[in-house]
Amino acid sequence: MGFWDGKRVLVTGGNGFLGKELVKQLETKTPKEIRTPRSSELDLRLRENCEKAVKGVDVVIHLAAKVGGIGFNRARPGELFYDNAIMGIQLMEEARKAGVQKFVAVGTVCAYPKYTPVPFKEEDLWNGYPEETNAPYGLAKKMLLVQAQAYRQQYGFDAIYLLPVNLYGPGDNFDLESSHVIPALIRKMVEAKELDMPYIEVWGDGSPTREFLYVSDAARGILEATEKYSSPEPVNLGSGEEISIKELTETIAKIVGFKGEICWDTSKPNGQPKRQLDTSRAWQEFGFRAQTSLPEGLRNTISWYISKGR
């Protein structure tokens, strides 16, 4: 029998950006059942809803999160800490009590310390405090690693913890109030081109570097880890490609065809100075490597946004 045969799978956040892609890929593996409750149906901040969600489930893939870009993180640090921590902690506890066979906690690159040697190695995760603007979110998600390791030690609970880098792709969140850098830049560039605007403004000075993982690669990596990985150690999921925000902005402008000026608002924060993951553990442990290059992924995402995303 294959891993997924006869399995009932709960995917929290299964109607979100990453969740929809993961569920689409999971359907090809034909498990017995896939549950994707919406937050309007089951608010996982309430313990009794976590209990309902995991009843009769074999595998939990916990993607649900309250998340956003730098502006959103600065405006709502309390919500981001409480909502993300309480959802994950209660869900894992109820899953353990219900006899769930496998729990996959999907964390965030924001859990890493602000000044981490590049590329980020999993063993550096505790060597400092996260970048201030996203620390409440990053630490809330990081607590699930502590919980997973503690539950494995005390209860023999098969919980794993994955650290995906910033995701992007078709179906992303393009709301400028809460979006991450790639969808925000795409929307700004497309609208500026259509309105023939002479310039756009971008936060910071363009110097920070980032790594991005295409959404279909991320979903594949999570499913491969679910099938093949069972260990207390966290695992990075990334592409291995690093790019500065300045170069990223210029690349998107070129693909979109925006020829106006790019004005850098240095009164706004840069966020973490550098962000790139060491992805060797994912390759060694369950054979995962990203397949989509950044230029290809950007072209796909821009095409999707222009045709369907508005």
Bridge partners of 11, per DSSP, are: 61
Ranges of each domain in the chain: 8-169+212-242+274-291
Q: What's the pLDDT tens digit per position in 157-188?
A: 999 999 999 999 999 999 988 788 999 999 99
Which one, of 95, 97, 93, lies nearest residue 146 by Cα?
93
pLDDT band with cut points at 50, 70 and 90 for residue 143: very high
Mean pLDDT estimate for the chain: 95
pLDDT given for residue 244 in this prediction: 96
Q: What is the pLDDT of residue 70?
A: 77
Q: What mean pLDDT is predicted for residues 219-241?
A: 97
Residue 295 has pLDDT above 80, yes or no: yes
pLDDT category of residue 52 using cuts at 50, 70 and 90: very high
Closest CA to 86 of 110, 66, 71: 66
210 token code pair: 């980032």
Provide the pLDDT for residue 138. Answer: 95
pLDDT of residue 69: 77
Distance CA 73, CA 178 (A): 9
Q: Identify the pLDDT of residue 269.
A: 82
How high is the pLDDT of residue 107? 96
pLDDT, residue 272, reads 76
What are the two backbone dihedrals, phi and then psi, of residue 288, each rounded to the nearest 5 degrees?
A: -95, 130
Label residues 12-48 b or e (16+ Cβ within 10 Å = b). bbbbbbbbbbbbeebeebebeebbbbebeebebbeee
- Rounded to whole angstroms, how far apart are CA atoms 118 and 18? 26
Is 14 in contact with 22 (CB distance < 8 Å)? yes
Cα–Cα distance, 127 to 123 (Å, whole number) = 8
Does residue 119 have a cis peptide bond before it, meaning omega lies within 30 degrees of 0? yes
pLDDT over 90 at 238, yes or no: yes
> Which of 112, 115, 129, 137 does the annotation list as catalytic?
137
DSSP string covering 68-123: --HHHHHH-HHHHHHHHHHHHHHHHHHHHHTT-SEEEEE--GGGSBSS-PSSBPGG
- What average pLDDT does the segment 55-72 reach? 91
Which helix H or strand E contains 148, and what residues bound it? helix 135-155
Q: What is the mean pLDDT of residues 142-152?
A: 98
Does the 8-169+212-242+274-291 domain belong in CATH 3.40.50.720?
A: yes
Q: CB–CB of 208/269 below 8 Å?
A: no
When comparing pLDDT for 115 and 4, which is higher?
4
137 in catalytic set: yes
Binned at pLDDT 50, 70 and 90, residue 5 comes out as very high
Across 33-37, 66-70, 207-211, least confident range = 66-70
Q: Is the pLDDT of residue 67 over 90?
A: no
The pTM assigned to this predicted structure is 0.93
Each residue's pLDDT tens digit, 103-138 = 999 999 999 999 999 999 999 999 999 999 899 999
Q: Is residue 1's pLDDT more than 80? A: no
Mean pLDDT, range 92-99, rounded to an integer: 98
- How confident is the model at residue 72, as a pLDDT? 84
Burial class of residue 126, CB neighbours in 10 A (0-12, 13-18, 19+): exposed
List the structure tokens of 130. Answer: 């996260």
- Compare 269 and 55 and report the one with higher pLDDT: 55
- In the predicted structure, residue 275 carries a pLDDT above the cut 90: no
